[in-house]
Amino acid sequence: MDNRGAQGAGSRGTGTSGAGTGTNGTPDSGAVRAGQAPLLPAHRPVLSVLEASGSTRGVVLVLHGGKAHSREPVEARHLSPARMIPFARHLHRAGRKHGLAVWSLRNSVRGWNGPDMSPLQDARWALQQIAERHPDVPVFLLGHSMGGLTAVCAADHPQVEAVVALAPWLGPETPVERVNGRKVLIIHGTTDHMTSPSQSLAFARRASADAASMQYVSLKGVGHFMLRKVRVWQTLATGFVIKSFAESTGAGVQPSRAFTDLLPESSVHVTL
């Protein structure tokens, strides 16, 4: 997972900030009772939306990485959300004219935080926002590192049809049933020392029986932060989403020739 921050460009589109909620789904109260210290404002997730041209026929939700434990708020300058901006823009260019919108989530805090699963709570909130605006369209999840784990865990939302997990943080305890009936692509570099390619492959094998489809790509000599073979990462991620979008909606768009050359239709495990 990501443990560094750096300057990054902000994404274009409209921004939406999540309202703070308690564990029971009710809004947090700012009231202070006698003898209590004032409550600090909760950090909130933020959505940036690249709208489709015309009516929206599908939505991609982009999920960034983070740390195992941190209550520090996520900022736009952090490398984790910044590295997903090119993926969001690449997807938007490929699909916007056909009705594909791209929503990028900036998490409330940087950590997964054990049983709190903070990014998963944020993703559930984001999916609720999508469902309220676009209740009848398919949703496609794209996540890197901790965002890949978040995408897998949030895939049981009824509108989710496909998941792309880039160098995901997966383990034996990751629930395979969340991707039942979903199309899944996992991409992992063979020299990743932040998350485990062997655990990703093991998850793919466990989940393949009940997923709608499962494909796994090993990138030789590539590490965690997608600095090498950048075009391959982007071509695979965008191509898989566009293909799934076209299959779900009948939209007149096809993945690039480069995608089909890299990942043939019948392939299950590819090494590039």
Question: In the chain, where are the structural domains located?
Answer: 43-271
What local confidence, expressed as pLDDT, does residue 18 receive? 52
What local confidence, expressed as pLDDT, does residue 21 receive? 33
Q: Using 70 as the pLDDT threshold, list the residues of the chain that sit under it.
A: 1-41
* Residue pointed to by tokens 């997972």: 1
* Cβ neighbours around 67 below 10 Å, total: 18
Torsion of CA 262, 153, 167, 216, to 10 degrees: -30
What local confidence, expressed as pLDDT, does residue 90 receive? 98
What is the bridge-based pairing of β-strands 100-106 and 46-50? antiparallel
pLDDT digit string (tens) for 205-228? 999 999 999 999 999 999 999 999
DSSP 67: B
What local confidence, expressed as pLDDT, does residue 42 receive? 74
For residue 109, the cross-strand partners are: 73
End-to-end CA distance of the chain: 22
What local confidence, expressed as pLDDT, does residue 266 receive? 85
* Cβ neighbours around 119 below 10 Å, total: 30
Top CATH class of 43-271 equals: alpha beta
- Give the span between the Cα atoms of 157 and 83, in whole angstroms: 25
